[in-house]
Amino acid sequence: MSRAAIRYAKAVLSLAQDKKATEDVQKDMQSIIATVSGSAELRMVLSSPLIKSEVKLASLREIFKSTGEITQKLFDVLIENKRVNLLDDVAKQYIVLFDQLNNTQVAKVTTAVPLDKGLSAKVLAKIKELTGNEATIENVIDESIIGGFILRVGDLQYNASIANKLTNLRRELSN
């Protein structure tokens, strides 16, 4: 993550706090992350030096027309400073700062099949017990782990996958 993206995210959060709009901006940032990561075409437009700033700004305004005033101002500032290629990083960093502000963190849970509501609730309870903070779950599906799960919260990782257990067993047997 670039220093510039972090500075922009801090500025946006500060402005959002002043306007009491941190949650609205957070929803905008989630929308930006989902849209940018889902569109190779949009990423190309934002990073291309051949496409004029006015076109980039018009594209952002059209794609994200439902976003709030603060997010629209972010587009203006990034375009003006020729840093619009940082939009995705700024949005991701804003989410991190917003979560820190609210003592929430993102728990990345990798499973072979999608989590159901019951298991999600148990995972959230365990995270609260371990860290003392609330969390939101990001479920990543990876069939190569065979079964079980891998939980990553901040710097902590707990690997309870079948693939990991098989690897450990293979190591023990080869010694």
* pLDDT of res. 126: 80
DSSP structure string for 124-142: HHHHHHHHSSEEEEEEEE-
Q: C-alpha angle 144/158/173, rounded to 5°?
A: 65
Record the pTM.
Answer: 0.68
* pLDDT of res. 64: 96
Q: What is the pLDDT of residues 10-62, one digit of tens each?
A: 999 999 999 999 999 999 999 999 999 999 999 999 999 999 999 999 999 99
Is residue 168 pLDDT above 70, yes or no?
yes
Q: What is the pLDDT of residues 122-144, one digit of tens each?
A: 888 888 887 777 888 888 999 99
pLDDT more than 70, % of the chain: 99
Neighbours of 19 (CB within 10 A): 13
Q: Are strands 104-111 and 134-141 parallel, antiparallel or unpaired?
A: parallel
Is residue 100 pLDDT above 70, yes or no?
yes
Please state, rounded to an integer, the average pLDDT across all residues of the chain. Answer: 90
Cα 151 to the chain's mean position, in Å? 16
* Cα separation of the two ends of the chain: 41
- In this predicted structure, which of 53-57, 72-76, 117-121 has the lowest mean pLDDT? 117-121
DSSP 107: E
Rg over alpha carbons for the chain, rounded to the nearest Å, is: 20
